[in-house]
Amino acid sequence: MDVLTVTDPARSGLAELRDGRRLAWAEWGPAEGRPVVFCPGAGWGRGLGFAWDVLDEFGIRLISVERPGLGESSPAAGRTLLDWADDVRQLGLTDPAVVGFSQGAPFALALAAGGLTSAVAVVSGGDELAHPGSALPAELRRMVDRVAVDPVAAEVDFAGFGSAETLWRLTIEGSSDEDREVYLQPCFARAFRRALDAGFVQGAAGYARDTVLHFARWPFRVEEITSRVDLWYGGRDSNPTHSPDHGATLAARIPDATRHYLPDRGGALLWTHAREILDELLA
């Protein structure tokens, strides 16, 4: 595969919210470009983007936002997925498109459910694992059931488990050979590890809350999302928390969804197929 050239953010800052909390962001591409909000993966800080080589060509201002308790964003105890939509609304962006990767997917779909966007791309995205009838591996089913029975205790468990080093190890050890070719490129690996280190700078509470929100029933019905949604999955994606059927059921549930299934690709589509993803997102 091609060697990635990873680019640091062009701009970064902190937005103050109505309740006094701060939301940290970083962005790439032209400052006056079309805004595309990026909801990154589990435990990430804001510093790792994607599509660095096409943002100027497409006129995209890519904005990665740290969720509460991650990086420099203030924590928010008891927050929900729809609270995230309210936080992002306060950034004052005009009709942003949205991209959600991995655990960022439910947060991206929450922005659609909250009426903030008309176009979403979910890439190797976390599915609604607690949706009735989801066929999950036994270990994942136990975690989902644990969240359903006692979400407070589950959040404590996730906080005790989560760390930058743990998520790095799980990503590398649990990925296909094709994905490891991406993640272990020296330039990418350095940026990825920096993003994880930044995400856990306040500890693991932000990651733990995100994981509970992902594994619980979502506080909106994806069947009522009116935004156009593109779902991107690779058949060689071996992460069990993404989607048990590579987005097939999720695509059937969302009225205006298109599923892009690449059987011979892995989960790193955000970096191997960035041009195609953005082409569809902005079509």
Q: Is it the case that residue 150 has pLDDT exceeding 70?
A: yes
What pLDDT digit, counting tens, does each position of 69-97 carry?
Answer: 999 999 999 999 999 999 999 999 999 99
According to CATH, the topology of domain 11-281 is Rossmann fold (3.40.50)
pLDDT, residue 4, reads 86
Bridge-based pairing of strands 97-101 and 34-39 is parallel
Q: Is it the case that residue 1 has pLDDT exceeding 70?
A: no
What pLDDT digit, counting tens, does each position of 11-21 carry?
Answer: 999 999 999 99
- Supply the pTM of this predicted model: 0.96
Q: Is it the case that residue 129 has pLDDT exceeding 80?
A: yes
What is the percentage of the chain residues whose pLDDT exceeds 90? 95
Domain edges within the chain? 11-281
Q: Tell me what the pLDDT averaged over the chain comes to.
A: 96
